[in-house]
Amino acid sequence: MSSTTDISRRGFLKIAGLGGTALYLGVFPSATGAEATIVNAGQAAYQSIELNAWVYIDTAGKVTFVDHRAEMGQGSYHSVSQILAEELEVDLNDVNIIFGQGDKKYGSQVTGGSSTIRMNYKNFLKLTATAREMLIAAAAAQWGVAAAECYAEHGHVIHKKSGKKAHYGELVVAASKLTPPKDVKLKKRSEYRLIGKPLKRLDTPLKTNGTAIFGLDKRVPGMVFAAVERNPRLRGKVKSFDASAALKVPGVQKVFKIKMLVFKTYREGVAVVANSTYAAFQGKKALKVEWDDSGFEHINTADIYARQLENVKTKEGLFLKKQGDPDAALAKSAQKLDLIYQTPYQSHSPIEPLNCVAHYQGDKVEVWGPIQAPDWIQDALSEEMGLKRENVIVNMTFLGGGFGRKAFMDYPHEAAVISKEINAPVQVVWTREDEMTQGPYRPGITYRCEASINNGDIDALKFRMSGQNNDHWRDPKNKQQANRSTSEGFLQPYYDSIKNISFAEVIFETPIPSMWWRSVYASTNGFAYESFLDEVAHAAGKDPMDLRRQYLTDERSQKLLDKMEEISGWKNRKKNEGFGVAITECFASTVGQIVKVSRKAGGKVKIDKVWAVMDCGWYVNPDIVQAQVEGAIVMGLGAATMHEITFTDGLVDQKNYHSYQMPRIYDIPPIEVHIMENAEDAGGVGEPGLPSFAPALTNAIFDLTGTRIRKLPFKMDEV
């Protein structure tokens, strides 16, 4: 089969050595066209034949699909299945879906960068089409007819002329002995029966009656509960603690000091193990701990922004991109703009607090939890605990939100450490306060944006940012180069139409743990760069939409702009209406938004409507795409107008939702989402809807009021 090397690297069957049980055969199409790998044992859990890493069919015909990525709301559980079912010719409602354990055969399992579909769909289509062809070939051989006379439908192979029919279960053993075909024909988009349709999510019924198992719902026999009091100063240590009152709380069994990973450093805390979550929480409250703050007490928000501002005002930084000579253009510019924008630290605050179940047994540990990156957890726990990677068994549950936070390894590490200490399975549960005050956070950033305008045209753009780089924790070498995300969010076509452009990062360090937050740097860059382009448009005497049209000259962008104008009535704006536009790129998708604002009776500004146009190329399920954009806009609204994380003397000021306010149902304006139809490759869906909301909103507020907002968050009723 002609496949990408990517598939071959996904490895082959894990042979689970089922001594004494029946033999099971598996086949995995090989990228090199070699014979299918035939193995004599399948994974015990499935008792069925693995057609490829994502599809199992047992001899009774039961089809199991694997979602190897985390399902945290973005819909992979459904969308992966909707793709796998297409070319395999099975019915979606007949399929059983499981989450893949951490396993290298899946390639990367890090559920980030809106990558689950866009990085895998071509492989999924080819793998399932190959499996289908092998099942057809097996049936044809059995019946002594030509494969070309047979077709697959609803999990069966059918011989057209005779009407002979066999279900896949009858064919898998024979199919597994065949050589995978070199080339398989894939359907055209117009031939899809499932992809592109707004099918109902397969996980919805589980999420309306309490049966979906999230991390917090995982139970294993003999499991106890734990809570941890952690040094409130982010990475500090425990000097001493007094457990006497905690141990008197009914249900509390054990109290001890632990050390858990914060990226590649550690923080310390005191663990309380009990027979219920409540008892563990009560025990935690009763602890008396003296902390060693290790010098973190100097962290203050005002100082952070002052240092960042000093950086962008006095240093050029490390260039990520530079074309032409923006400095020369700025030096002889007739009209210059030089503006500062600031974006805050943000907490992910997924609605399911962090938690993880671990069971440490001798030379292995098994964990279950809301985990965004099971492969990273395998790496981290095997390294930290000196275990073989394959002896770190990582199981994903449903995630009650993730947004980047649940790709971090501190809470599974805590659970494993506690389980090892007590020699029993344990569930560690974080309180909301734990989650909000410990980080990691989206980093706060200061931007300096400069432009040279010549006769109303953009001559040069020069961007500089200073804020923490999320990559630094993974590899110190990253500190020698500019943040790779410095230009994230900025549209590629601008490079073709604007001669002089540069992006630079002035490195800024603090000990605050920072981590991707939905849409990552595009979520903050987008605010700075798209606000700035709006200001450039006004300075140049141009309509902000016309400015985009002038510089986004490619056909794909022009179509997006046409759609945005058409649905929003941009050209027919009325007096007393403020319209704002912003367009950002994020993970290979472009989203343009238009926000309309007006004044309420008392003079305060309100949002009347949000229009979003998503160009994500090839997509699976339009209803899920729309839902993701709606949700991203709501999350963007919260981040722009309601909450931020601030630090005073090394402590986080926000503790729970009363001080970190979330959007509520009454805050949400009408949102209309359109999806562009084209033949482009798939882009991301879960994140790209977020970045363009905040600048579209503040640009609209400027249009209505003349007030320019350059620092987030701001309060709508203070505009």
Residues lying near other proteins in the complex (CB under 8 A) = 71-75, 200-201, 203-214, 216-217, 219, 225, 250-251, 276-278, 281, 349-353, 398-403, 429, 431-432, 623, 627-628, 630-635, 656-658, 662-666, 668, 670-671
Residue closer to other proteins, measured from CB, 317 or 350: 350
DSSP track, 269-309:
EEEEEESSHHHHHHHHHH-EEEEE-TTGGG--HHHHHHHHH
Question: What is the nearest approach in angstroms of other proteins to the Cβ of residue 285?
Answer: 11
Q: At closest approach, how far in Å is the CB of 602 from other proteins?
A: 18
Nearer to other proteins (CB atom), residue 61 or residue 631: 631
Minimum CB distance to other proteins smaller for 354 or for 460: 354
Closest CA to 226 of 267, 265, 289, 282: 282
Continuous H helices in 332-459: 374-385, 410-422, 432-438
Structure tokens at 185: 């024909």
Give 203-249 as a DSSP string.
TTGGGTTT-S-BGGG---TT-EEEEEEE-SSTT-EEEEEE-HHHHHS
Q: What is the 3-state secondary structure (H, E, C) of 462-480?
A: EEEEEECCHHHHCCHHHHH
Query: How close are the terminal C-alpha atoms of the chain, in Å?
Result: 61
Among candidates 524, 516, 640, 521, which has minimal Cα distance to 263? Answer: 516
For residue 362, the minimal CB distance to other proteins (Å) is 28
Q: What are phi and psi of 55, to 5 degrees?
A: -130, 130
d(CA 557, CA 548): 9
Alpha carbon 133 to chain centroid distance?
34
Give me the least distance between CB of 639 and other proteins, in Å please.
11
77 vs 241, which CB is nearer to other proteins? Answer: 77
Residue 245 CB, nearest distance to other proteins (Å)? 15
| Nearest distance in Å: CB 137, other proteins | 38
User: Closest Cα partner for 438 from 320, 239, 267?
Assistant: 267
Structure tokens at 543: 């309509």
* Calculated CA dihedral for residues 264, 267, 270, 271, nearest 10 degrees: -30
Contact present, 509 and 303 (Cβ < 8 Å): no
In the bound complex, what is the minimum distance in angstroms from residue 224's beta carbon to other proteins?
10
Least distance from C-beta 231 to other proteins, angstroms?
21
Residue closer to other proteins, measured from CB, 171 or 436: 436
Q: Does residue 557 contact residue 563 with C-beta atoms inside 8 Å?
A: no
| Residue 7 vs 415, nearer CB to other proteins | 415
Residue nearer to other proteins on the CB measure, 577 or 630: 630
Q: Rounded to an integer, what distance in angstroms lies between the CA atom of residue 613 and that of residue 552?
A: 15
List the beta bridge partners of residue 116.
Answer: none
3-state secondary structure of 414: helix
Q: Which is nearer to other proteins, 372 or 483 (CB)?
A: 372
User: Starting at the edge strand that comes first in sequence, how are the strands of the sheet with 445-454 ordered?
Assistant: 318-323, 500-505, 457-467, 445-454, 335-343
Please state the closest distance from residue 641 (CB atom) to other proteins, in A. Answer: 14
DSSP class of residue 663 equals P
Give exposure, 314-339, as e/b (b: 16+ Cβ within 10 Å): eeebbebeeebebeebbeebeeebeb
H/E stretch holding 127: helix 121-143
Smallest gap, in angstroms, from Cβ of residue 656 to other proteins? 6
* Nearest to other proteins of 292, 623 (CB atom): 623
Provide the minimum distance between the beta carbon of 98 and other proteins in the complex, in angstroms, as a whole number.
Answer: 17
Q: Which is nearer to other proteins, 279 or 682 (CB)?
A: 279
Q: List Cα–Cα distances, 103 to 323, 374, 521, 590, in angstroms.
A: 42, 8, 29, 32
3 vs 74, beta carbon nearer other proteins: 74
Question: How many contiguous H segments (helices) and E segments (strands) does the chain have?
Answer: 17, 27
Q: Which is nearer to other proteins, 171 or 586 (CB)?
A: 586
* Residue that the structure tokens 């350059």 belong to: 710
CB of 251 to other proteins, least distance (A): 8
Give Cβ neighbours of residue 19 (< 8 Å, ≥ 6 apart). none
Q: How far is the CB of 431 from other proteins (least distance, A)?
A: 6
* In the complex, minimum distance from the CB of residue 526 to other proteins, in angstroms, rounded to a whole number: 17
- In three-state secondary structure terms, 715 is coil
* Smallest gap from residue 207 Cβ to other proteins (A): 3
The verdict on whether omega for the bond into residue 691 sits within 30 degrees of 0, i.e. cis, is: no
Q: Could you tell me if 223 and 427 are in contact, meaning their C-beta atoms sit under 8 angstroms apart? A: yes
